[in-house]
Structure 1
Amino acid sequence: MNKNKTYIVVIIIMILYIFPIDRVQGLDEAVLQLRWDHQFQFAGYYTALWNGYYEEEGLEVEIRSAFTEEGDVLQATQEVAEGDADFGVGAVDILIANDEGLDLAVLASIFQRSAVEFFMKEETPFSTMADLVNLQVARRKDDLMDIELQAMLMAEGIDPKQLKLYEHRGNFAIEDLGDDGFDMVPIYLRNILTYPEEEGVQLKSIRPIDYGIDFYGDSLFTRGSLAKENPDKVEAFKRASLKGWEYALENPEEIIEKMVVAFPPQEKTEKEFRAFNVFQAREVLELTLHPVVEIGNINPHRWWGTQEVLKKLNLVSGDLDRENFIFSYDRILQQQAERKEKFLQIFSLISVVILLIVLIIYLTAKSTIRKLEKMFQREWEENKRKEGIIIYQARLAAMGEMIANIAHQWRQPLNNLGLILNNIEDAYHYEELTKKSLEEDIERSRRLIHKMSETIDDFRNFSNPNTKKDEFSIHENIMMVLDLMEERIKLHHIEVVFKDISTKKAYGYSNQFAQGIFNVISNSIDALIDEKGGKRQIFIGIYEQGNDVITEIEDTGGGISEAIADKVFDLYFTTKEDTQGTGLGLYMTKVIIEKNLKGSLHWKNTDRGVKMMIRIPCKGVDGNVTD
């Protein structure tokens, strides 16, 4: 009896661990800090509040203006970092704040283009950025809009210090463009064009994008610690906000009328305030690229590129934490999903999907093992000498490494399948499971299984025991190897660059060549992992020379020491730890290329690292047409 009670207590503890109690708690408070006063620039957040989207996500949200009652301006990055707000709206200031150690994470980029533009009168003498040196350009110290002007100048080879800084408070307006004012002023959201009485002045403008400066505009962000500790809250706020933005962009007139009531204008008439927001609505719609681009879409490389521009301007000095800077709900919940996966026992149809995966793994592995056993047995019988044994050992090592790569390739699809099962379970528990959602989840599962099946096909091609010489494409052969190593390459942020690619086919044993290429690229990856600093790159070139096809594989891993230069192709020589290397890879590769494929293998140090040069014959060369 006591043992039964113990079992019950353990089960209850496990259930509470997997399904936390906070699901039934009341609304969770959240504060959003804007970067300016209330206007259509932030319409999506008002809409999420007024339409109840935040409440549906279990959130009670307060939206704060950047202006206090005392007239002070609050910095969204500072407010969020210090915990006075949970979420904020920013742009390049997020990167600058992160470089100062504030630890912020971007959730969604609402403005797909920067809202900064530089205006001047039509008659102002301007044709190139160099003309600005002779003009009165409105620049202020620590002005975020000025960062994009500096970037444009730098892109054209002009030192920004050649343009004077001025003292100026408040927004720039059309009145600032005059004989006693400035020749060019920075404007956000083209607000200088808002009112009808200003139509009599002819203006022209320049945009950062015209000079290759492609920064994101308004973006939603939060504290990095909040994203890690309470990802459910962050994801809920993001989801409701994006839903609000979609509604606001498709129903601007309705939202503007609500804004007129909610935010009575202080310095404008009601008519002016309405006209101002109608104008902003058009500009905001253009900047979001809706409906062509998904609202809030983030291209990480654009943020990385912006960071590099800020580095050149000496506005930041460090590197971004690329793993955590952009919030990823799925990544943070991955471990939780893995725990829940063990307790999921639901619908028979999903069980069939899981059984199908297991069956594919079993049948494929069994078939591959049988073929490998036959291949190794033939080679063992045909090669009683030492070289045959070494090749046997080396292929076993290569297969072990390849199976590890397949495990990496399968980890993400399996995690995604676990998340799909989790979603179905949640939908079932909350009575939200529909036929359509179930069909969509099943289709996603099938696509994942298909991708896993493709990985197995690549592995089977790699391990094909074919011993007949034939024509084969070197480029396709290398691509197959890279596909099998894809996860390892991505994990260590390695860039593979092709150059001088020839489609000329080689002649010999395709699978043996693939095994040699795998060893060479694997060594390059190991060298790049050990190399600290600099770009991690592998350059691959394929070209013809006489009756041969030459493959060059060069890495930026720092080169081979002169002390071991004569031992690179020696049997059992390795620079890796005892448990990590066999010393067979390059030795076996040299044997394959020179003996089995009648080619040659050489290496040399370059100013970037090591270049391996593999030469093998084309079909049609005397002595190579037949076996």
Structure 2
Amino acid sequence: MNKTFKILLLLAIFSLMSTTTYGAEALEKVVLQLRWHHQFQFAGYYAALWQGYYEEEGLEVEIRSGFTEDGGVLQATDEVAEGRADFGIGAVDIIIANDNGYDLSIIASIFQRSAVEFFMKEDTAFTSLVDLVDLKTARREKDLLDIELQAMLIAEGINPSRLEIYQHTGSFTIEDLINDTYDVVPIYLSSILYYSEEKDIQLKSIKPIDYGIDFYGDSLFTRRNLTKEKPEMVEGFKRATIKGWEYALENPGEIAEKIALLVEADTSKNESTIAYNRFQAEKVLELTYHPVVEVGNINPYRWEKTHETLHKLNLVSKDFDINTLIFDYEAIKMEEAKVQEKVLRVLFFSALILLLVILIIHITEKKTKRQLEELFQKEMAENKKKEGIIIYQARMAAMGEMIANIAHQWRQPLNNLGLIIANIQDEYYHRELTEDSLTDAVERSRRLIHKMSDTIDDFRYFSNPKTDKESFSVYDSIIAVLELVEEKLKLNNIKVYFNCITSKKAYGYSNQYSQAMFNIIINAIDALIASGVDNKEINISILEKNNYIITEIVDNGGGIDDDIKDYIFDIYFTTKEKSKGTGLGLYMTRIIIENNLNGRIDWQNTKDGVKMVVEVPCKGVDDCGND
């Protein structure tokens, strides 16, 4: 079992030992990326985990070492920015990462002072920073520890390029000074002092703060988009972390021992680890300024000065933006409150405007109502006038058609009367007129006149408007129509057949029904004449179904074309020449059947022609078509 696995196992054990079960609510998983090995430098995060502070905030936290199993270094800024971790520990590298395109926000500065110092042996000839030019000072290219050395040199007017840069891998240690590999080495968190005391070697150090370089040390950070998307979660992580640090700083011995177990599970071998972490605890306490300064306190001005220093070193080029660099939960909540306030203001003013509109409407209601009523009455009058004109036009067109048919029917009787009168005159001149011949001539004349009188009665029945509904025979109404068009049927050799006739009567306006039938039959006759077929036929069926009289009129004069089938009931639509058609026949037929008689009209093409279907109610069916 390798060392990393042991560490992860112990982390899991401590987590299980210190957490409390909270029902079935799932915890949000987050990852904290450290910048070094597990040690007291990160004590507050372990304490927050072990004491259950993270869990109280609804978080399940994984704390990752700054090194991979094979010894590779994990840069916290890369891990967080690229989404492999949610939170990280950093310092000036946060500003540099942002300048290189990342978007990170600092949540809390745990170390109120930089943990970087530059150590040398007590007897090293050093009185000022100028002496470093003649000393072998350990420097590495792109080393974060070297940034503060450069800042100190520039502050004293010394060009950092005068100090040589060396190729060195791994950490700088006490052996580098003992073996005179270097005269001065950069150390983080004074860790070298622990080993110098063991070897009884006296050291002295250079602190950046003594030269006005006041950088923050370890600081907690995250991605800025996470602060915007989940500000409550980020603030909860911050709260738990600060509580954890307060606990760790007040109970350093307990936490140091737990960290030692985290690093070395074998208690017989971890005494030195415990001692090292207790040593670190003293240094960490100094860097946090606890309890004088609140844990996690951030002074924006210090971060701005740090940015200025980095700019002088040409390590950053972009402008400093304090609002994006530092996470401010209260500012976010205030911004949300402002947005909510704006929304409420908009809603308030919208409601106010709506109220004013309602008041205006209320004030002008009577006037508006009167105007609307006047407009409505005017529109109704106009519509009635238009409808009356259309009905009048349709009736006149139908009457014209009937008069033409009457003229056809009267032509033969009038010719016969003329012949009878001529015969009487001839017989009188030739002394052949007898009482019997005169009586016969008068009787034949009376029959002809009676037939002509019947035609007039049919016309009067058809044209006379009726205001009261009555029961009527559909068959009789159709016969009356056929008698009016008898001459036209004979002239064009059109046969009419009744296939089925019900004796049950319809209920409504009989003369209006006759007008509708007249329009349908005339259309059938015209279609048959236009078709030119030899055996012209109109087949009529009168059926009764569900208390409705259904009349089917079928011709063999060809069907209705698809391109006009949707328009045949439209007003003024006609396929006839303008001099022969008004386009009102089928329109008025639908109005009569559906509006006046509460019936239905439909049609369909057959094999040889068109079938028109008209349904009208019997007595006892109301206006909605219900029994």
- Taking structure 1 as the reference length, what is the TM-score of the superposition? 0.49
Higher Cα Rg, which structure: 2
